[in-house]
């Protein structure tokens, strides 16, 4: 990034001479500094998992969730500035609600598209900054399970396995090994837990808390937190697997 501090990187409404919008790239940096968030789309559902970095041991365990619910059947995990993520989630709920009023329960794609347009508008003007947050948005609609990722640039791409945040490269490596068309949602819960534990760097980073939500047959096609017993089992198995690995 040789163009840093040449003055072409101070506004979202400015291109650099080689055609880049630096402010958007910097926003991506904010995402890259955050705890990892992943999601897996399998044949009959979607599973979300987040590495919630515990910044203080005074925090109430289990509170301060980073996976948000957008509609009965849609959820969103965020990586980056939490406050920006809540802003995006609020917008996603509004979009979902509007779509529902006109057309009935919205498809995941329609909500992700709308959210992408919204995020993109924040890359156009010097009077705003882009969102320092990526939103992984997924759920189960009339066409089955669906998963998208909306980035600070405003793109919203569909995925079978999505990852954002600090450990995304390693997580994507792991995700690529999965057979999405064969896994059940329950199995995907174990995979998701394993990947989050794997990408967390014990040596360098603070403590973290695993957080998972899912949607599928077993959750009655509602987007909800993974039930306690399953969550604990997946969390434990993931820890065990890591220890054996070491």
Partner 1 sequence: MVRGQSFDENTYDSDNTVFSPQGRLHQVEYALEAVKQGSAAVGLRSKTHAILLTLKRSTGELSSYQQKMFRIDDHIGIAIAGLTSDARVLSNFMRRQALAERMVFNRPIPVNRSVSAIADKAQVNTQEYGRRPYGVGFLVIGQDSTGPHLYEFSPSGSSLEYVAMSIGARSQSAKTYLEKHFEKFESSAYDDPISVSILKQFAPVGSLEQLIEHGLHALRETLQQDKELTIHNTSIGIVGPAGSHEVGVDGLGSFRILEEETVDPYIQALPPKEAPAGTNAPAAAAPPAPAGDEDVQMAE
Partner 2 sequence: MDHFPTNWGRPRNDLNDAYNTYPLHQRPYNGPKDTFADGVQRTQQPIVTGTSVLAIKYKDGVMMAADTLASYGSLARFKDIQRLHPVGSHTVLGAGGDMSDFQYIQTSLDTLLIEEEITQNDGHSLGPSEIHEYLKFLMYGRRSKFDPLWNSIIVGGVKDGRSFLGYVDLLGVTYEAKTLATGYGAYIAQPLLRDAVEEREGQENSITEEEARKILETSMRVLFYRDARSLNKYQVATITAAGISISESQHLSTEWSFAEGIRGYGAQTQ
**Residue 112 token pair:** 């992700």
Instruction: Please say whether the beta carbons of 210 and 235 come within 8 A.
Output: yes
**Residue 235 token pair:** 């969390």
Q: Using CB under 8 A, which of 29, 62, 65, 240 touches partner 2? A: 65
Residue 101 vs 176, nearer CB to partner 2: 101
Residues in the site for partner 1, rule: CB under 8 A? 1, 4-12, 22-23, 26-33, 56-60, 63-64, 81-84, 86-87, 90, 122, 126-132
Q: What distance in Å separates the CA atoms of residue 215 and residue 39, rounded to the nearest whole number?
A: 11
Helix or strand run (H / E) with residue 135: strand 133-141
CB 87 → partner 1: shortest distance, Å? 5
Stretch that binds partner 2, among 97-105, 135-143, 171-179, 189-197 (CB under 8 A): 97-105
Helix or strand run (H / E) with residue 49: strand 45-53
Question: Length of the chain in residues, anyone?
Answer: 246
Please, which residues bridge with residue 40 across strands? Answer: 47, 161
Partner whose footprint covers residue 12, from partner 1, partner 2, none (CB < 5 to 8 Å by kind): partner 1
Q: Using CB under 8 A, which of 13, 33, 97, 217 touches partner 2? A: 97
Partner whose footprint covers residue 65, from partner 2, partner 1, none (CB < 5 to 8 Å by kind): partner 2
Q: What distance in Å separates the CA atoms of residue 238 and residue 27, rounded to the nearest whole number?
A: 32
Helix or strand run (H / E) with residue 28: helix 22-32
Stretch that binds partner 2, among 45-53, 68-76, 175-183, 232-240 (CB under 8 A): 68-76
Q: DSSP letter at 218? A: G
CB 225 → partner 2: shortest distance, Å? 8
* List of residues contacting partner 2 (CB under 8 A): 65, 68-72, 93, 97, 100-101, 224-225
């Amino acid at each position: 990034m040789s163009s840093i501090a040449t003055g072409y990187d101070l506004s979202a409404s400015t291109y650099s001479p080689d055609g880049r919008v630096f402010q958007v790239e910097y926003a991506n940096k904010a995402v890259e500094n955050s705890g990892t968030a992943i999601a897996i789309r399998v044949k009959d559902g979607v599973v979300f998992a987040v590495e919630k970095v515990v910044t203080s041991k005074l925090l109430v365990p289990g509170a301060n969730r980073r996976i948000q619910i957008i509609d009965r059947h849609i959820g969103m995990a965020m990586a980056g500035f939490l406050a920006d993520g809540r802003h995006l989630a609020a917008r996603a709920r509004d979009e979902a609600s509007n779509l529902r009023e006109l057309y009935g329960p919205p498809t995941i794609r329609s909500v992700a598209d709308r959210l992408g347009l919204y995020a993109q508008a924040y890359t156009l003007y010097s009077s705003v900054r882009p969102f320092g947050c990526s939103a992984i948005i997924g759920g189960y609609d009339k066409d089955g399970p669906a998963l998208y990722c909306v980035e600070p640039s405003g793109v919203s791409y569909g995925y079978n396995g999505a990852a954002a945040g600090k450990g995304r490269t390693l997580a994507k490596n792991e995700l690529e090994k999965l057979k999405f068309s064969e896994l059940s949602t329950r199995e995907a819960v174990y995979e998701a837990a394993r990947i989050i534990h794997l990408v967390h760097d014990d040596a360098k980073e603070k403590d973290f808390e695993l957080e998972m939500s899912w949607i599928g047959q077993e959750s009655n096609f509602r987007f909800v937190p993974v039930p306690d017993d399953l969550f604990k089992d997946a969390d434990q198995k993931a820890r065990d697997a890591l220890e054996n690995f070491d």
